[in-house]
Structures are given as C-alpha cells and as structure tokens.
Amino acid sequence: MRTLISVSSLSKRYRLGLKEKQAETLAGQIGNIIKSPWQNLKRLRGLNRFGQEDESVFWALKDVSFEVKEGEVLGIIGKNGAGKSTLLKILSQITEPTLGKIEIHGRVASLLEVGTGFHPELSGRDNIYMNGTILGMTRREMDSKLDEIIDFSGVEKFIDTPVKFYSSGMKVRLGFSVAAHLDPEILIIDEVLAVGDFEFQKKCLGKMEDVSKSQGRTILFVSHQMEAIRNLCSKCMLLKDGQVIATGETNHTISKYLGSYQFSLRKEFFDIPNASIKWVAIDPKGIENGEFILEVCFESSRHVQYPVVGFVIYNQLGAPVFGSNPRFHKEDYHPKGGKKGLIRAYLKELSLHSGIYKISVWFGDGLNDFEHHEDVLAFEYLSPNSYTQKPNPLIIGSFDPMVTWEAETF
Ligand SMILES: Nc1ncnc2c1ncn2[C@@H]1O[C@H](COP(=O)(O)OP(=O)(O)OP(=O)(O)O)[C@@H](O)[C@H]1O
Ligand SMILES: [Mg+2]
C-alpha cells in the first residue's frame, strides 16, 4: 500500500496571548489547498527545539512522527489539549508547522472546527460548489453530486439561505456531507461531529465506514467517543501533551489511554481552609461486588441543621449517568444536625456497564449548597453482570439495569 501521509518530527509552537493568523473562511484557505495533490516539505531552522525560551512559548506538538497508508483509518485520541486539533489543522494546511516535515499525496477534504470551510455570506448551495472547485472538481461532477450532498445533510430547506444563519449543527451537517461526498483521497474529521444530533452522528459514522471500506479511502478521525474509534479505525494514535504516546492496534491504544486516567477512590480536603468536607471516598470492595458506597466526612465551623450530600456519576464522555440527593427522594432521611459527621450513600446494585466513571459531590444544609467538587473521584467499574467485562459500548448508554429476557419461537 502506498504511503499517503508521512509526518516526521513535527512540532508546533504557539505564543500564548498571540492569536495565530488563520484563514477564517474557505476562500482564505483556497490558496493553500488548491495546491493539492501536493508534496510539501517544510523546515524552519533557527528555532530552539522545545527549549523554554520564555513563559509565553508553548509547544502544542512535540516531535510527532507517523505514517498513514492508503485505505487506513487512523483514529487520534487524547485528553483535551493534547494537540489533536492542532495536528489536523497542520495536515489540512490551515496552520503552519514550526518544525518538522509533512508529505501528503492526495486531495484532502477536512471538517475541522464548526464553520471553517464555509463562506458565511454565501448560501449552502454556493458553498458546496465552492468546496468542490477547491478540490478540483468540474461543474459537471458537482452537478451530479449536488442532490446527494444536500440530501445527506438534511438541510435542504435552508440550502439557499446564507450559511451565517445556520445553527452550528446545520453547519456541521453540511460540512460533513460536502467533505464525505467529494471523493477526497484523504478525509480528515475532527471531533465536530459531536455537535450534530445523535441520529446524524450515527449517519456520519456509517458514511465514514462506507467511504473507508467500500471506497478504500484514507481517513484521519479525532474523537472522544471510544466506541466510534473502535468501530471505525484500523489503527489508533494516542497523543499526550503534544507527544505520541502510542500508535498501533486500536484496542491496545484505547486501553493505554483509558489506563492513563488516575483512578482515585478517596480524596482528602483536610488542608483546604474553610472546607466543610474533609474527605470523600467510595468503597473499593463495594465496587468489586457491583455495589456502590459513597462516604462523605464533614466538619464545619458552624452547626449544620440538615447535612445533606448529593452526587452525580459521569461516564467517560463526561455525560451524566445519574445522580442522587436525598432531597429528590421521598425516602426517609432525617439526619441530626451537628458540626461533624459522616454521610453515606448506599446503592445495592450499581447497574452500570463496564467502564470508567467520575463522580462530582455536593455538600449543603438542605437550603444552600456549601461545597461542590467536580470530578472528585474516578473509578473503573467491571460489571459483574456483564459477560465480557469489556469497557461499555457507549453507543447503547452507560446504564445497565438487569433485564429479564424471554423468547418464544414458533
Ligand atoms: N492558536 C493558538 N494559540 C495558542 N495556543 C493554542 C492555539 N491553538 C491551540 N493552542 C493550545 O495548544 C494545545 C493543544 O490544543 P488542541 O486544540 O490541539 O487540543 P486537542 O487535543 O484538540 O483538545 P480537545 O480534545 O479539547 O479538542 C492546547 O493547550 C491549546 O490551548
Ligand atoms: Mg480539538
């Protein structure tokens, strides 16, 4: 297989406080992209390699090297700020690298931040034509694709409205549809799909699968949705603080990423002045047995009439799975007031799919919330009810109540 993308020792330096000059509209990018298929070597000398020149200098990518072969679907994962979007912007020639070399063979269509790639004053239809022209397509080719693009985007009602009046979801819909239908050799998609609604996300993932499997196109795909990465990508690369931590088989890379979370089952706040919560903890034994026991120890300078704790559990996408607070429930909860105490929440069955979860905790007196700690604890849960114990397929959600199945056959 031909190597379509080859990146070596790529680094990107930002100066904090200085906004990069970027092409805001597609028209501004035309100058760059029109060179496709291109082969571009860039070497900038005379810059210190990652030396902390001064505090205003920040390396968003450090010495990144990898190759992508024709037909490969490369997933790129990593925490917020890891450098994923920066990498995609460089590959799409929207931003210049500071150091290093990239070679790309083939036409690139990319969907990066919401709205890039569109001229706001032009209608959706005109923008489709403009994008096609940039990718080197003829008017005739465009005419034959137009209906399909509009149809897939689902914005036909607004196709003659200027794009500046589109919602962000509508822009993403049209942007994806254009990028995926213009037969680029290389398709680059950033997280933006998450802006679209659930149904459209599913449709896009299906389309990408089609583009890669049936048309043999090369895709670079950034996502925080591990299930989407797992389904779609043949290879996966993990970025951390601008560096490549792992590349290779998708499941292996995902495990490395998930394993890099700091699991903390207990957090102390003893040295924080004025904090009422002294510590919070979940019982590790409980978690192992499919139970959930959360304990919050408080100590306040004043008498707390009605000490009450609330918590929310979030899945690895940051979506709340469920939360509880005795104020929401009819159940008996009649604590005695006091200055110190231990509050315990007990859940007999956690009913979650296997996965990684985080917890936020509140403490208050029933009228006011005194304290709120986001993502104070994190744990990995391996469901005793699950057959495989593999991390949860988030596409079906995180909640896993015991369902009784029956079948009758005729
Ligand atoms: N124009 C810029 N000027 C200065 N710093 C920037 C600029 N663009 C990005 N950065 C910084 O570079 C780092 C990497 O950002 P990037 O957007 O590539 O992260 P990411 O991996 O895409 O994160 P996310 O998952 O949140 O999308 C961040 O610390 C960010 O603040
Ligand atoms: Mg990003």
Alpha carbon of 242 to ligand 2 centroid (Å): 12
Q: What pLDDT does 231 receive?
A: 81
d(CA 184, CA 7): 19
Residue 347, pLDDT score: 93
> Mutate which of 50, 84, 96, 229 to test ligand 1's pocket (most atoms within 8 Å of Cβ)?
84
Residue 36 has pLDDT above 80, yes or no: no
Ligand 1 centroid to Cα of residue 168, in Å, is 20
Residue 275 has what DSSP assignment?
-
Q: Ligand 1 pocket test: which of 19, 85, 243, 245 has the largest number of ligand atoms within 8 Å of its C-beta? A: 85
- Looking at per-residue confidence, does 317 or 92 come out higher? 92
Q: Which protein residue has the closest C-alpha to ligand 1 atom 16?
A: 83
In CATH, the architecture of 266-396 is Distorted Sandwich (2.70)
Question: How far apart (Å, rounded) are the C-alpha atoms in residues 324 and 376?
Answer: 16
Per-residue pLDDT, averaged over 206-211, amounts to: 89
pLDDT of amino acid 32: 39
**CA neighbours within 13 Å on the CB side: how many for 15?**
6
Confidence bin at 394 (pLDDT 50/70/90): low
Q: What is the CA(89)–ligand 1 centre distance, in A?
A: 10
Delimit the domains of the chain by residue range.
3-259, 266-396
When pLDDT is cut at 50, 70 and 90, the band that residue 24 belongs to is very low
CA of 109 to the centre of ligand 1 (A): 21
Task: Show the ligand 1 pocket: residues with CB < 6 angstroms.
Answer: 14, 16, 20, 58, 60, 78, 80-86, 191
User: Rounded CA gap, 105 and 39, in Å?
Assistant: 6
Q: Give the integer Cα–Cα distance in Å for 230 and 208.
A: 13
Lowest-pLDDT range, 9-23, 161-175, 195-209? 9-23
Q: Which atom of ligand 1 is nearest to the CA of 18?
A: 3
Domains 3-259 and 266-396 share a fold: no
Name the closest-CA residue to atom 5, ligand 1. 14
Average pLDDT over residues 268-276: 82
In this model, does residue 277 exceed pLDDT 50? yes
Cβ burial of 374 (10 Å; 0-12, 13-18, 19+) is exposed
Least confident window among 89-103, 163-177, 241-255, 390-404: 390-404
Domain 3-259 carries which CATH code? 3.40.50.300
Q: Is the pLDDT of residue 31 over 50?
A: no
Ligand nearest to the CA of 79: 1
Q: What is the pLDDT of residues 371-383, one digit of tens each?
A: 888 888 989 888 8
Mean pLDDT of 366-370: 80
84 Cα to the center of ligand 1, angstroms: 8
Bridge-based pairing state of the strands 108-111 and 266-268: unpaired
- In the reported structure, the alpha carbon of residue 61 is separated from the centroid of ligand 1 by a whole-number distance in angstroms of 9
Say how many CA atoms lie within 13 Å of 316 toward its Cβ.
29
Residue 235 pLDDT exceeds 90: yes
